[in-house]
Each structure stands twice: as C-alpha cells, then as structure tokens.
Amino acid sequence: MTSTLPKFGSTFLALVALSSLAPAQEKSGETIYRQMCAKCHGAKGEGAKQYPQPLIGDKSLKQLAHVIDSTMPDGSPDLLNAVESERVAEYMYGAFYSPDAQAKLNPPRVELSRLTVKQYRNSIADVIGSFRTPPKADAKEGLRAEYFNARNFQNNKKQIDRTDAEVRFDFGKESPKSETETKEKFDPNTFCIRWEGSVWAPETGVYEFVVKTDHALRLWVNDAKKPAIDAWVKSGDNTEFKTSMFLLAGRAYPIKLEFSKAKQGVDDSKKNPNPPVKPAFISLNWNRPGRAVEPIASRFLTPLKCPEVAVIETPFPPDDRSFGWERGTTVSKEWEAATTEGALETAAYIVAKLQDLTGVQPGATDRVAKYKAFCRVFAERAFRRPLSAAEQSLFVERQFEAAGDDAQLAVKRVVLIVLKSPRFLYPDANGASEQYAVASKLAFALWDSPPDKELLDAAAANKLGTREEVGKHADRMFNDPRAKAKMRDFLLTWLKLDQAKELPKDAKRFPGFDEALAADLRTSLELFLDDVVWSANSDFRQLFLADELYLNGRLAKFYGAEPPPEAGFKKVKLEADKRAGVVTHPYVLSSLAYTGETSPIHRGVFVGRGLLGIGIKPPMEAFTPLAPDLHPNLTTRERVLLQTKANACASCHTIMNPLGFSLENFDAVGRYREKEKDKPIDASGSYETRTGTTAKFTGARELAKFLASSDETHYAFAQQAFHYFVKQPVRAYGLAKPEELRKTFADNDLNMRKLVVEIAVIGAMPRKELAPSK
Amino acid sequence: MPLTRNRREFVRDLGISAAAVPFLLNLPGLSFANQAKRKQRIVFVFSPNGIVPKDFWPDEEGANFKLKQILSPLEPFKKQVLTLHGVCDRIRGDGDGHMRGIGCLLTGIELYPGNVQGGSDTPAGWAKGISIDQEIKNHLQKDAATKTRFGSLETGVMVPDRADTWTRWSYAGANKPITPIDDPYQLFNKLYGRAKDNEALASVLDDIKDDLKKVGNNVGAADKKLLEEHAAFVRDMEKELKEQKNATVGHAVPKMELGIRKDNDNIPKISKAQLDLLVNSFQADFARVASYQITNSVGGARMKWLDINEGHHELSHEPDTNEKAQEKLVKINKWYCEQVAYLAKRLSETPEPGGSGSLLDNTLIVWTNELGKGNSHTMDNIPFVLVGGGLDFKMGRSLKYPKVAHNRLLMSLAHGFGHNVKTFGNPNHCAAGPLTGLV
C-alpha cells in the first residue's frame, strides 16, 4: 500500500523549474501546468511513462483545484498556493480533464450500429408476430380452468369453467371443489382439468417450467402442437416434470396444462367400478432466469390466448458492454455466423408455420401470389420501411424465379436474403426516409424492437415530423409491456443488479436465508421498482424515500415484519423510520455484503459510482479484506478504516467509505441492527458535493434524503438512462445535452416516465431538429 | 413443427456454438477418426401382432433349411439369413401382453406401474431401462473410432401420433421412450436439411455482398469500415461453403418424391422412402444403429394394396381354424418380410464405402415382433430373423433353442459390437450369458 508515484523525482523537477523561472503567480494556468505538471502527466494530461493514467475525471472544477492545492506537486504541495492551484485547475479542466473537454478533443459521434443481440431476437419475434392477431388486451390474471368429470376432455362432461389465479392444488382423495353447483358429482377417481391462457416473461432468458403432480400431465408452452412436457403416460413414481426454454421479455406466451387423474388406454371402469381412491395434487411452477423454483404467480398469467412468439434460440456472441451499455458497434466472425444460423432458424420456422402465418392452404392454386405478398410485407417489416421497386425485384421476385416451382424454397430464400441484408441488420444505414428512420429509432429506443403498425402508418402519413408528434407515440409506446420490461431492466442496471446473482450467506448466522429467500428478495425489489415507476407521478425521489417494502410470508418471517395475511407479496411498513427505498432494500444490501459481514466499501462504491455518478478508479492492486477473526475487537467500520488509511488508498476511500458507513445499521442480509460486537453502530457519513459543500448524514434515511434531492444523482440517472435507451454517447447529441437532460428531469418533478420519453424523442429526431436550447 | 424443433434440438444436443455448426453438419461423420476400422451396423425392424408360426418357422434345423411362405421374400439372401426359434420374452409384471411385448422387447426389463390400461391386465407405464439399440449406440458414440453424426436413427412408418406404451420400443433409459420419425420429409430434413440450407444460402450471397457495398456507399468513412469488416466475413463464409461442398457427403443428396401424405394407403410408398433414407445414412455414415418400426404393437394397418380390408390387429385375434383369416395374416406378414428383404437388397447393392463387400456384409438386420402368435398372445418363440453379416454371426442357418430368455440374445448383440455386457435388462434372465451357437 505504498504510493507508486515518483515522489522524489517530481519534486526535484518542480524545484528546478521554480528556481529558474519567474514567480509563479504571474503565470497562466497553462504555463504552470507545462512547467510543473506536464513532465509526469504528459503535455495534454495523457499520462507519461511513470504515471501513465490520463488526467480525465468528473470532479468539479472546485474539487479539482482542492485536490491540486492539497496534494500537488506530489510531495511538495506548498509550491502552489490556492490561487495558483485554481488557475492550473481551470486550465486543466477546460483543456482535457472534464468530460466536456474530452468531448471537444475527441468529439463523440453517433456510430453506425448493427442490431444488438436483444434487438435481433426481438425483431424476428415481432416481425413474425405482426402476421398474427393478438387477442384484445385486458387486465385479467390467472388461467382459464376447465374441470371435467371424465378421463377425457368431453365438453358434455365439463363441470367447472372458471379462472384459477394459480395452479396449486392438493385434492387429497377428494374431487375438485366448486363454489357453484356442478351438474354431476365428480368421481374422485377419474377427472381431468385443463388450464389455458398465456404466461408473461418478465425478463429475457432461460425459463424452466416445473409441473409437480402424482398423476398424468401434458404441458404446452409457446407451441400448440408439440407438448413441452408429455407425461400423459404416468410411469413410476416421478412427481416432478421439467422443461426449459428461452423466452423474450415483455411478451406473453400461450400456455396450456392438462392434468388427468384417470387411466389411459382401455376403459376398465365397468370391470372395476369401485377402486380405492388415490390422492392427487398438481402445481405449475417455474424457475425464472437466476431464481429458484416457485409457483407461477397470477400476475404473470392471463386467461387470454396469445399467439405463439417466434423465439430464435441461435446462440450469439454477447454485445460489447465496455461503455456500460450494450452496443452493436463491432462485428465478428462469430456474430456473422450467428446471423446466418439465426436466418436459417427463422426461415425454417416460417416455412413450418407458413399456413398459420399466411392463411394459405398448402395446395391452394393462388398460393404463389399469396406467398409473394407475404414475403413483400415480411421484407418491409424487417426493413422497417416500404420497398422500392428495385428492392421488390431483388428481395422477392428474383428469389421466386430462382426457386422454380418450389414455393416453400422461394419463401426460405426471401427470409434468408432479407435477414442477411445490411438493410435489416443496420437500422440506421438502410436508406429509410427521414420519418421511417424516426420511427425505427424510437421503437428501438423504447422496445429494442422494430416499429409497430401504428408507428409505421404515422411515418407513411408524414406524421412524425415534430417533437409533439413523436412524443405522442413515445407516450403510447411506453405503456407497452416491452417498454415496461426495458424500463425495469434499466433500473436494475442502474442499481448494478441486472445480472441476477447468487447470494450465498453464512447459514449459521443467517439461518433461513436460502436460494428461495434470495429469489423472493429480488421479486420484492422488482415489485417496488415497478410500483414507483408506474405510479401516477413516477417520482424518482420515491425510489429513495418510500418507507414501505414488498414482503411475502417467507420474507416477513425472516425480517421480523408483521406477516401479511396471505402468503403473497404485500406492501408492508418495516422499520419505517429507519428504512428508505432502494438503499435499504435488503436485496441491494445483501448483494453489497459478504457472506457474514457487511461491506461498506462495496456499498460506498455503489452509492458513489452508481448513484452519484462519480468516477472511482479501481484500486491499484487487488486487496483481500482484513479478516474479521483477526480483529475480533474491531467493528466493520473500524476494520475498513484500518485497511484504507494509507495515503494511496485515501484519495478514493475518503469518498467511498463515508458513503458506505451510513448504511452500517444494516447487516449482511439487510436486517436492521443497533450494535455490532456489542459496540453501538456509528452510521455517520458524509459526501463532498461537486459544488464544494459537504453533506453530512447519519443513517440510511438521511443518506437517502440527500440522494433523492441531489442534482448529481439526477444528472447521473438521466445520463445513464440516455445511454441505456439510445445506446449512443449522449454528448454526441450536444455537449450541453447531459445538463439539459438533468434540467428537464428536474423541471418535470423528477418524473422518470417523462424523462425516458424525452430521451427516446431526442434519440429518434433528426439532430438538426435538436438545436441546443439556450 | 418437427423441422424447427429438430434443428434447434440438434444444435443444442451437439453442444457446439453456432459458428461451428456449418462446418460440422455437412461432413460424413464428426471426424475422420471413424473411417479407419471396419464399420459394423445394426438395424432393428419391428412388425406387430405376432406371426403365423406354421408358415413362418423353418421345419429344419441347421444350414439345410427351407424358407416358408412368410419368409420367402428373403430367398435371394438365404445365405445371409439366421432364424432363431425358441427365444422367449420372459419379462412379466404390469401391463398387457402387447404393452410388455413391445416395451420389453429391446429393453429386456419390466414396465413401471402407471396409468396405461390395456385389457384386463394391471395398468403400466414405460419400460424401466434402456433398450439394446441405444445401449449399442452409446457404446459406439463413446469411441472416436466408431462415433458418427447421429449415432442412431429411430424411424418407422405409420406410427400413431400418440405416445404410449404400445407405440414405443426404443428407450434412451428408464422412462425415456424415443419417438420414432415416421415422416420421410422429417427424416430427410434431419439428414440433409443442412445441405439444402447451405445451397439456398450460397445462392443469395452474391446479392448480399452487392447490398453491403451499396449500403456502405451511403455512410461516412468511419462507419464504412464496419461494413467492410462485415463484408469480409461474408466472403469468408462463402469460401467455406464452397470448400464444404467439395468435401461433402460422398453421395448425391437423394431426391424425394414430393407430397406423400401420412396415410394408411401410402404405407408402401412411405416404407420405401424411409428404407432408402436409412440406406443413404449408412452410406454416408450418419449412424451405425437404426430402428424401423412398422406401425405399433396392436398395429391395425389395413393392407388394401393386398386386397385385405380388415385391420391387422383384429385379424390377428382370429382362431387358427379361421383359414381365410390365417391366409390373410400370412400375406400381411409376408409383406412385412418384403420390407426386410427390400432393405437387405438395397444394402447388398450398395458397396461399403472405403471398405470391402456391400453394406449388407457389414450390417445385421434384426427383424422381430412383440408376440410369438397373435391369437394366443404368447411371448414364447418371439420371431427373431437376422439378416446380414454385420456381427459375424454364422448365417445361412435355422437355429432352434430350448426356450431361452431373449435377454441373452440382446446380450449377444452387444457382444457382437465388442461391448461385453454381463447382463442386459432384468439380470435374472441373464445368468446363462449370451446365446451360444450364433458364431
């Protein structure tokens, strides 16, 4: 933990420089820099051999001057007084240090991007989906449930037709219960049930569906023909049946579950009229990506029968995320090969479902003409704009000619050439007219998917010319489940929790904190985020200030809350005077902790880097935290201070530690505590703002209040949102854009929905329309 | 639809990245390591409902025997035929005769208790163990010298669209029945889909390259670089596709008659198409194990093309005294035998690629049935007729065993591949070891 800076050398040089030249106070900042700083830091702050890190950062001018005044030149800070330090800071800030200075030196630009992997999959799903008719949306939850007093699904034997919120039944040796009178009395030996509707995928990833039953079952998900699980033959004593599939966020997938408590095959009921009754149970569960197996909750189920979704499973190499958001600005051989596989998979899918998609019977005499018409529309939707005559000839006519009399092959060729075309893969280079380009950008910003019919119609009618027109569509589109899924994904990314991770905890100290509980915590956080975003005011501050928490029975028990009446998730006040929104959410706090101890450093980095948006560099080398057992008398706070007291650590840790300390009232699983090792918790903390004032707070609520009202938090949130939704550097839209966004956000009472709509509009409109406002 | 599913499942099963797929799928085998040794193959053929013993089993024993009416189509291959009388299915337990008949035939083990009710027997589920074809496949796939692209192919004709104990005979393991492919187009796609895809792909690449150029002209210099990089990858792929085409399957991709529907009356057409594809896949070394399931146990094919209008299963229950019915049953079984003979013929006409003799010299056909006799539902004297030289058994003989358990024959088949299992299926029937007298 010693400084790696060349202390002696630079001091010496600085002394030489000073003694041989005129008094410093008459010099400009630039001269001072050249004479006293450039040797170590490079002529333009780019770094030099001994100190290679470029002088780039996001401290305010005031903060920078303060750092220089108190630490520079290294080892002899007295050589520069406060005024000189300020002058040199001013020069550095404007010449290369600040983000704006960097933007002037290397003007960020809107780079040509291919579809990201997400956008690729969504495009296929939605372009094909546009040929299918969705049912009229409603808000109903659960699944349609039909109960039959027979071993087959004979309509005249149907006794119950209702909506079941979830599929979780233990019939025992009884027959199904009904609140209304049934025509016949159920035979407890022989009955069957069909649940049908659709299931919403809240995130993109691999879902495992798990049906638990001691009788026969069949499950279909997103494929009406082939069951995902076929256990209609009951065989042996297996009672758990699983299948995995990849699903895309924000879409509903048709699902059907059939259950049969009956013998299949030959009917022997006459021969054996009164067999002993066996028990029966059934439940429909899933394991969402990175979660634990749990019953599918009613909020993910709808009795509506949605059409199938074309989910392309071809594996793609992951997108570049080096800037913190997914970008399609690079191509690779693997990516190119994946687009080929994706095109082939899509072509096979379309050919297999051609009748469903075109409504044309395979033997119909006019099928070639109708397939052609289908192909044309397919190409237009894939390209997100109408085809020119030349394109119609290349992408459709020519392919049909080449395929001879094999009309299916012709369709396959069209799908291949369209999906391999740069006009599909590069939305911004496909030669679309201005309004279609606006439509495309807007849709990708909000949905990561191509425009819907309404938006394309608007482009065709020239109704996407003004901010108001585009904004109206953005408002409408933001209510789509795909936008909701993207918004939730963004918030989780903002909280650095986008990748669901395991939360292993010390089983001795935290009995009951297991995989299922961790999954519940994540659900609790997501419910909270959704709740705030989609509340009337969508008030950003509520993310920090809310004093209620979503808990289910299991969580309530673990965290010692009044258990909610039902087992489901309910908003509960838990230590309301101590907790506040996301910063005290036990999922966040457990993630930012070790298995047994808290980690004020991780929490501090989360608050500082993530929420306040300050650039904290990683440590010079990797450190293992001091083992608590070796310091049995120290609290966590004391241990952290001990480990980070060296000068080399201090410049960053004096920022992070005090932020993290303010959350010390919450242990490694996010439970409130007053004491650690019999010492009272010291939850005092502070933060030096970019305006130069010092904010002090004790405990999480005070920290949360500060964060809720801080310009820095708002600025960081708006900037991150821009990058997440538009996938281009915000300064490419004007150097003042980040600050403008912050201001717009603040002027709109920190309404998150309005912010994202504004961002989507900025990203979509031609840049000449976006002349910076004064 | 099967096509999409299979492609995805296949890619997933291989566990390889998308980028590697095109370079693997079109090659004869996964590598050339498997081309050095003699290739041994086995095909299991199933026909249902028992046979007519008096017109099936040769009266004589040994090399001097006459093929009776049902087996007469095998006359041209008589020197390659081995009939095994006296092999009995000893597996009992849950399930009716037909269920156990088919479910225990290749597995040699009981069925689980379950919910499939047949006649007056106790209900049952799936077999409790792996079937011998899958056991041999796994053995071959473990070794690079015998590993092939698919390992095994499970095929059939007119297998009902319902998965139950009567319709499955091949098991990947306990409770894991394998669905046979009875649609020749689906089988074709599994075998050659990729080659066809690549053809279509190759034919649109020129247009895609042109398009990339055009689009590249519409963007700035910095962005153009990205498209140029992209175009280079497209050119690479084009080159690779060409190279692959030159190194391809060793025989022309077969032409399929279009539009054969799955329909009782099309059974002869479908059967021929399926058997041709099986021969092709052996020729290309796509697999060394196959099964071919004609309908299902209790199968009710109505062989109108033989002027028989009743379904096979209902006829099979007619007593021996019903001579007309017995005549029809002989005709039906003879037709099944013709399928075996057609397969043998095609194999015998196809030279062994890179080896000596014909495919038939290196393939063993095992034709069998779920019952010994339809109207008694006996599981004694299960029909086992072997054709071909794949396992170096001494062919051209009629053997008669004193009621031996069929588990022992299953063991012999594994041993024929050098897979010397100590037991197979229910070990209680395996104590005497593999059948003696085969080699």
A294: left (phi over 0), alpha (psi -120 to 50) or beta: beta
Regarding whether B174 and B248 lie in a shared domain, the answer is no
Q: Which of B252, B270, B295 is the last residue of a domain?
A: B252
For residue A2, what pLDDT is reported? 37
Q: Is residue B228 part of a domain?
A: yes
Residue A223 burial (CB < 10 Å; 0-12/13-18/19+)? middle
Regarding whether B387 and B304 lie in a shared domain, the answer is yes
Among B99, B102, B116, B167, the strongest candidate for a mutation testing the A interface, having the largest count of A CBs within 10 A, is B116
- Lowest-confidence range among A246-255, A762-771, B175-184, B275-284? A762-771
The total of structural domains in chain B comes to: 2
pTM: 0.88
For residue A322, what pLDDT is reported? 85
Are β-strands A548-551 and A570-573 bridged in parallel, bridged antiparallel, or unpaired? antiparallel
Do the Cβ atoms of A542 and A514 come closer than 8 Å? no
Q: Is A641 helix (H, G, I), strand (E, B) or coil?
A: helix
For residue B37, what pLDDT is reported? 83
Residue B318 burial (CB < 10 Å; 0-12/13-18/19+)? middle
Q: Which two tokens stand for residue B162?
A: 């319902």
| Closest CB to A429 among B118, B208, B215 | B215
Q: Which of B233, B252, B271 is the last residue of a domain?
A: B252
pLDDT reading at A24 higher than 60:
no
pLDDT reading at B169 higher than 70:
yes
Please give, rounded to a whole number of angstroms, the shortest distance from the CA of A631 to a CA of chain B: 49
Question: Domain A7-105 classified CATH 1.10.760.10?
Answer: yes
For B198-207, what is the mean pLDDT? 91
Distance CA A650, CA A510 (A): 33
For A634-656, what is the mean pLDDT? 88
The DSSP secondary-structure symbol of A773 reads: P
Longest pairwise C-alpha distance within chain A: 116
Q: Is residue B437 part of a domain?
A: no
The DSSP secondary-structure symbol of B181 reads: B
Distance CA B201, CA B196 (A): 9
pLDDT reading at B15 higher than 70:
no
Q: Which residues in chain A are classed under CATH 3.90.182.10?
A: 143-302
Regarding whether B295 and B159 lie in a shared domain, the answer is yes
Regarding whether B74 and B217 lie in a shared domain, the answer is no
Question: Which residues between 81 and 120 in chain A have a beta carbon less than 8 angstroms from any beta carbon of chain B?
Answer: 109, 111-112, 114
* N-terminal to C-terminal alpha carbon distance within chain A: 48
Please give, rounded to a whole number of angstroms, the shortest distance from the CA of B435 to a CA of chain A: 31
**B46 DSSP β-pair partners:** B293, B368
Q: Which two tokens stand for residue A434?
A: 């201005």
Among A120, A220, A340, A398, the strongest candidate for a mutation testing the B interface, having the largest count of B CBs within 10 A, is A340
Regarding whether B421 and B406 lie in a shared domain, the answer is yes
Tally of CA atoms within 13 A in the half-sphere of A624 that contains its CB: 3
Q: Is residue B198 part of a domain?
A: yes
| A344/B226 touch (CB, cutoff 8 Å), yes or no | no
Regarding whether B175 and B322 lie in a shared domain, the answer is yes
Nearby residues of A589 by Cβ (< 8 Å), 6 or more positions away: A598, A603, A663, A666, A668, A669, A670
Question: Domain A143-302 classified CATH 3.90.182.10?
Answer: yes
pLDDT reading at A507 higher than 90:
yes
Please give, rounded to a whole number of angstroms, the shortest distance from the CA of B214 to a CA of chain A: 10
Regarding whether B308 and B401 lie in a shared domain, the answer is yes
**A197 DSSP β-pair partners:** A255
- Lowest-confidence range among A702-716, B19-33, B232-246? B19-33
B52 at interface of A, judged by CB pairs closer than 8 A: no
Q: Is residue B434 part of a domain?
A: no
Q: Which of B208, B230, B252 is the last residue of a domain?
A: B252
For A484-508, what is the mean pLDDT? 92
Q: Is A716 helix (H, G, I), strand (E, B) or coil?
A: helix
pLDDT reading at A6 higher than 60:
no
Regarding whether B216 and B73 lie in a shared domain, the answer is no
| A263/B116 touch (CB, cutoff 8 Å), yes or no | yes
Q: Which residues in chain A are classed under CATH 1.10.760.10?
A: 7-105
For B96-121, what is the mean pLDDT? 93
pLDDT reading at A384 higher than 90:
yes
Residue A61 burial (CB < 10 Å; 0-12/13-18/19+)? middle
Q: Which two tokens stand for residue A96?
A: 């290369």
Regarding whether B204 and B160 lie in a shared domain, the answer is no
pLDDT reading at A140 higher than 80:
yes
Residue A22's pLDDT band, with cuts at 50, 70 and 90, is: very low
Regarding whether B54 and B2 lie in a shared domain, the answer is no
For residue B247, what pLDDT is reported? 54
- Lowest-confidence range among A37-41, A432-436, A587-591, A619-623? A619-623
The residue written with tokens 């007619």 in the block is B318
Distance CA A749, CA B112 (A): 66
Regarding whether B147 and B285 lie in a shared domain, the answer is yes
For A476-487, what is the mean pLDDT? 96
For B137-148, what is the mean pLDDT? 95
Please give, rounded to a whole number of angstroms, the shortest distance from the CA of A328 to a CA of chain B: 10
| A263/B197 touch (CB, cutoff 8 Å), yes or no | no
Do the Cβ atoms of A233 and A216 come closer than 8 Å? yes
The average confidence (pLDDT) of chain A is: 91
Residue at B180: amino acid letter = P
Question: Which residues between 151 and 190 in chain B have a beta carbon less than 8 angstroms from any beta carbon of chain A?
Answer: 163-166, 174-175
pLDDT reading at A272 higher than 50:
yes
| Closest CB to B125 among A233, A329, A331 | A233
Domain of residue B411, CATH code: 3.40.720.10
- How many residues appear in chain A? 774
Q: Is residue B134 part of a domain?
A: yes
For A241-258, what is the mean pLDDT? 97
The residue written with tokens 């003799």 in the block is B357
Q: pLDDT tens digits, residue range A671-708?
A: 999 999 899 999 999 999 988 899 999 999 999 999 99
Residue A768's pLDDT band, with cuts at 50, 70 and 90, is: low
Where in the sequence is the domain holding B371, given as residue range(s)?
39-183+262-429
Regarding whether B201 and B159 lie in a shared domain, the answer is no
Name the CA dihedral angle for B26, B27, B30, B36, rounded to a multiple of 10 degrees. Answer: 160
Distance CA A614, CA A731 (A): 17
Q: Is residue B436 part of a domain?
A: no
For residue A5, what pLDDT is reported? 36
DSSP letters for A354-400: HHHHH---TT-TTHHHHHHHHHHHHHHHHHTSPPPHHHHIIIIIHHH
